[in-house]
Every structure is written in C-alpha cells, then in structure tokens.
A = this chain, B = another copy of it.
C-alpha cells in the first residue's frame, strides 16, 4: 500500500505472555521491540535486510523514539504494525508507526529516527546507494 512519496508495510505480531505486566497491558517499553520488527520487515519488503546493512559496515543506532499510547494491547492479541516511510534515507531515516489490534482499533502511533554510522570509524555517514535506490523505487 503506498501513495506518491509514501510507502507503508504491515507486519503482524502476537503478544507474548512475558510482554504483559501486572496491569495486564503490554508493557510500554515492549513497543520499541515491536517497532523494530516493523521497520526490519518494511526494509525486507524493499529487498534490504538490516543484517546486510550491518555486514556492509553500517550501524543504525536510534536517535529518537516517540510513542503516543492510545489504547493498551493485551496478552495473545494479534497486532498489526503499519510502518511508513515518507522520504529517502540520507544521513538519517525516519519510520512512522501505527499499531492496531484485531478489531482495527488504533493502539498507538509513533516515530523512530535512526542515523547511519560507519562501524569502523564510529562516525555518522550517508545511507548506502543501494538502500537509497530501493527506497526510490517505492517513493518515486
């Protein structure tokens, strides 16, 4: 699903028991993991794997995380993570998130910004040509 200059990818995830807390909600910190799964699968859908990026010598640390929690998720829920990109990666890359439960209720929205780092020098760098091209195919 995409419109001009926007590409979204949906991944499903099943809530594990250990991800709930004693409020019976999914613990608020667990969504960082879910969001990670969302972006990894979006990249895979473009033909880029995060693993490959690391093997090419890049690391992608997160520099910003923002989550707006609207409704809780519960044990055994099957959640849908919709991950969206809106611009080409440059020195950084931003992923937008919406999560839904099986009743299609919006649970939370969020945003994660990552930067490209050269693993050898530890310095910030630009996204590799290869990744930019994959993005171009979808965002053009």
Contact = CB atoms under 8 A, between A and B. Distances in A.
Interface of A: 14, 16-18, 20-25, 27-33, 36-37, 40, 49-51, 54, 59, 61-70, 72, 75-76
Contact of A27 (B17, B49, B67): B17
Contact of A29 (B33, B59, B75): B33
Given A28-B32, A28-B65, A66-B66, A75 B59 contact: no
B50 A76 contact: yes
B76 A69 contact: no
B20 A21 contact: yes
Contacts of A69: 61-65
Contacts of A20: 21-22
Contact of A51 (B63, B64, B75): B75
A40 B17 contact: yes
B59 A76 contact: no
